[in-house]
Structures are given as C-alpha cells and as structure tokens.
Amino acid sequence: MAAFFCASGRRLLSTAAEVSEFPVPIARIRSLARAGRLADIDATVAPLIPAHLKEVISALSVVGLSDRASSILSTIPSPTAEHLNSLLGPLLRRRRHAERVPGLLDAHPSAPRNAVTWSILAKSLCITKGADEAVYLLHGEEPPSLHLYTAIIDSYYKQKKPHRAEELWRDMVNERGIAPDAAAYNVRITYKSTTGTVEEVKELIRAMREEAGLRPDIVSYNGLLRVLGRHKMVDEALEVYKTLQEKGAEESTEVKSAPECATYSCMVIMLCNADRWSEAEDVFYEGLKHRKVADLSTVRKLVVGLNKAGKGRAARRVVDGLRKKFPDQFNGPWKELEKDAGIIPGASNKEKEAEEGEQQPAKTAAVVA
C-alpha cells in the first residue's frame, strides 16, 4: 500500500516500500477505482485470482469495492473462513464501510465462521452502533473467544465506559476462565495511557509480564510513552525509547518491540511540545531511516515548530528528506508541507539557506545519510 490511513484516519507514508512484495498492485487498483475504471480493475485482478485469491478479495475490499470482492467470493466452491475474513476485515477501516459487514456476512451463509469472523462482526457493530449492540455475540451458541471479548472491551474503553469494560474483563477471566493475551492487556494499557497515571500503566505492564507470563510488545511500550508524555516526563520517555531501539536491533521474531510509526509520532510530538527541536529532528530521521514516518499532523507540527523556532533550514530538510525517501507517495496533503516549510516549488531555496547559515546537527546528518 503506497500510503495508508491508520485507524484514526491520519495519513502515513510508513510502509510505502515495505509492502512492495504484496502480490496485488493495490495502488493501481485504488487509482483505477477513483477514476471509475472498473473494467480495467477486473482486467488487472483476473490473472491474479488463481494464485492470490485472498489478496485480491482483500485489496478490492480495502479500496471500497466490497461488492466486487463479494462477487469473487461467491464463485468459490468451498470458501474458507480466511476467504470470508479477507472480505470483511478491511471494511473496519472506515465507518461507512464497516456498516456493510453484517449484510455481507449474511450474503455468504455457506462460508464457515471462526473466532476472527465474529470479532470482525463485533467490531463493525461497535464502530457503527456502539458496544452494547455487540454484547449479544458473547451469548451465542458457540463459547465466546478471547478475540470477541477483546473487541468489545476495547470499544467500551473507547466509548469512555471503563466500568463496562472492567465488568467484561472480570467475566472473561473469572467466569469464562479465558486467559488474556498481550492484545487484551494492551487494550487496558492504551486506555490508561490516555486517562490514568504513569504508575497505573507501569503496574499493568508488570502484571502482564509477571502474573500473566506475557512479554510486553511495542503497543504496550507505546502506551507507556504516551502516559509519560502526558505527564511531561520527557527524559524518562527518552530512556524507554532508547531501550526500544536497542531491543529492536536484537529482538526475536515472536515479540515485536522495535519502534513503529506510533512510537516515532509519540516521541516527536512530546519533544516538540517541550521545545526540544534537535532531539525531535533526530527521532524523526531515525524513523525516516527505517521507513516508519510519523503521521502527517505530527510531521507538520515538527516543520511548523522548527520554522517558528528560527530553524527554517532544518524544517526544509525534513520535507526534502520525505520527498527523497518517498518520491512517488509525496503528494496530496503531504505536498502542503512544502508551504509550511517555506519551500518554493521549482526554486532552489538556496538564498534562504544562505541567509540562515544554519549547521545541520552531526547526529541528524548521520541518520539521513
């Protein structure tokens, strides 16, 4: 996917090159869909269906063509739950698409359901109607899964109904005997990171590790960084960030703790808010080196802040770095960063650089190289 939107709708460039091995040309399909060239889309995916059926269904669903994806699924003599989930899962990215999940599920009664299918249905109901509308799924014919509980608990937290979330947590653990996994713990950590104290988040991570025997992952540590930022504990957050960098360089493939897009976004915002511009730059360039760029609003905050702090040349370097790293994806709202940085399209901008006479920080220069 060339450029994509995270759950909150903020545009990212993060995986622009990392998914080049994806067998379906989703950027081309999206472009054709926007142009209304449906016949060309059919011609593009037709030769890919025999070997990459699930990927084709998923790609069509991602770009909003769930009707076409559903038609392809209907042609499969013996569809699997994975085929069905590849149709439904991508629809959760946008509310107006999530509304289609129940109807599409009913349209394929012969396709088997699994725990992931029911959690997708639960999430769609939570997104479009609220968690109360999904609770009935916990009392169906099949015993509810951890995935299903986690989806509804997460929704209650997002609806700022922590009492209902904790009730379901106790029901899951004490009544059903379902052991939470890292994803379930991370739902609680994420909520506390935005509403609780540093001690509460640290206690959840401790319980996750010592009582549940689980290894905190990058989502867990992002929660810790977020709560540290809320309480303006920037130096401690930097220590956690540096530890994550070290772990990422030597981690196993089982538990991912290397910094990701959300990590870099959190740290850049935190450092910008503290007017620690050189350190914010360094974190940004570290993410850029790994093709994990902070979201657009965060990068804009960095660029605008550098300009206001009298570091116009540094602001232009940030934008120039993005243009060079993602030449084909630096478009749309990302192009507006040029204006924020004071870059004149087509001009060399050397006069401004000469006037400012700034020197690029040694660490930043090394990262960009």
SS3 letters across the chain: CCCEECCCCCEECCCCCCCCCCCCCHHHHHHHHHCCCHHHHHHHHHHHCCCCHHHHHHHHHHCCCHHHHHHHHHCCCCCCHHHHHHHHHHHHHCHHHHCCHHHHHHCCCCCCCCHHHHHHHHHHHHHHCCHHHCHHHHHCCCCCCHHHHHHHHHHHHHCCCHHHHHHHHHHHHHHCCCCCCHHHHHHHHHHHHHHCCHHHHHHHHHHHHHCCCCCCCHHHHHHHHHHHHHCCCHHHHHHHHHHHHHHHHHCCCCCCCCCCHHHHHHHHHHHHHCCCHHHHHHHHHHHHHCCCCCCHHHHHHHHHHHHHCCCHHHHHHHHHHHHHHCCCCCCHHHHHHHHHCCCCCCCCCHHHHHHHCCCCCHHHHHHHC
Q: Does the pLDDT of residue 190 top 70, yes or no?
A: yes
Question: What pLDDT score was predicted for residue 350?
Answer: 55
Of the given ranges (132-136, 178-182, 257-261, 299-303), which has the lowest mean pLDDT?
257-261
Q: What's the mean pLDDT when you consider all of the chain?
A: 88
Question: What pLDDT score was predicted for residue 207?
Answer: 96
Question: What pLDDT score was predicted for residue 364?
Answer: 44
Average pLDDT over residues 189-218: 96
Question: What pLDDT score was predicted for residue 292?
Answer: 92
Q: Does the pLDDT of residue 2 top 70, yes or no?
A: no
Average pLDDT over residues 260-270: 96
Which band of pLDDT confidence, cut at 50, 70 and 90, is reported for residue 61? very high
- CATH number of this structure's domain 113-179: 1.25.40
Q: Does the pLDDT of residue 4 top 50, yes or no?
A: no
Of the given ranges (11-15, 151-155, 360-364), which has the lowest mean pLDDT?
360-364
Task: Dump pLDDT digits (tens) for 318-356.
Answer: 999 999 998 878 888 898 999 999 887 665 555 455 444
Which band of pLDDT confidence, cut at 50, 70 and 90, is reported for residue 247? confident
- 203/358: higher pLDDT: 203
Q: Does the pLDDT of residue 249 top 70, yes or no?
A: no
Average pLDDT over residues 70-74: 96
Question: What pLDDT score was predicted for residue 328?
Answer: 78
Which pTM does this prediction carry?
0.83
Which band of pLDDT confidence, cut at 50, 70 and 90, is reported for residue 141? confident
Question: What pLDDT score was predicted for residue 346?
Answer: 60
Question: What pLDDT score was predicted for residue 257?
Answer: 81
